[in-house]
Amino acid sequence: MTPPPADDSQRGVASAFLAYGLWGLFPIYFAALAPANAVEILAHRIIWTLLICAVVLAWWRDGAWIRGVLRRPRLAARVAIAALVIALNWGVYVWSVRVGRTTDAALGYFLNPLVTVALGVLVLRERLRRLQWVAVGIGVIAALYLTVAAGGVPWIALVLAASFATYGLIKKQVGTALSPWQSLAGETAVLTPLALAAIAVMSVRGETTFTGHGALHTTLLVAAGIVTAIPLLLFAAAAQRIPLVLIGLIQFITPIMQLLVGVLLQHEQMTSARWAGFGIVWLALIALSLDSVLAFRRRRAVAAGVSG
Q: What confidence tens digit (pLDDT) does each residue in 137-189 have?
A: 998 898 889 888 878 889 999 999 999 889 888 888 887 788 888 989 999 99
Which one has a higher pLDDT value, 181 or 95? 95
Q: Any residues with CB less than 8 A from the CB of 270 and at least 6 apart, and which? A: 103, 263
pLDDT of residue 189: 95
Q: What is the pLDDT of residues 252-264, one digit of tens each?
A: 899 999 999 999 9
Tally the C-alpha atoms within 13 A of residue 51's C-alpha that lie toward its C-beta.
13
Instruction: Report the SS3 class of residue 152.
Output: coil
Question: Is 93 domain-assigned?
Answer: yes
What gap in Å lies between CA 176 and CA 171, rounded to an integer? 9
Helices (DSSP H) in the chain: which residue ranges? 6-31, 38-59, 64-70, 73-98, 102-122, 130-150, 155-174, 180-205, 215-222, 224-241, 244-250, 253-260, 272-307
Q: State residue 52's pLDDT score.
A: 93
Which range of residues forms the domain containing residue 104?
6-307
pLDDT at 1: 45
Task: Quick: pLDDT tens for 116-144.
Answer: 888 887 887 778 888 888 988 998 898 88
Q: What is the pLDDT of residue 260?
A: 92
Q: Answer yes or no: is 117 within a domain.
A: yes
Residue 1 lies in a domain: no
| Residue 205 domain-assigned (yes or no) | yes
- Domains of the chain: total: 1
Packing angle, helices 215-222 and 224-241, rounded to 10:
40
pTM of the model: 0.87
Instruction: Report residue 42 CA to chain centroid gap.
Output: 15
Domain assignment of residue 221, yes or no? yes
* Main-chain phi, psi angles of 290, to 5 degrees: -60, -40
pLDDT at residue 244 greater than cutoff 70? no
CA distance between the termini of the chain = 10
**Mean pLDDT rounded to a whole number for the chain:** 88
CB 176 within 8 A of CB 127: no
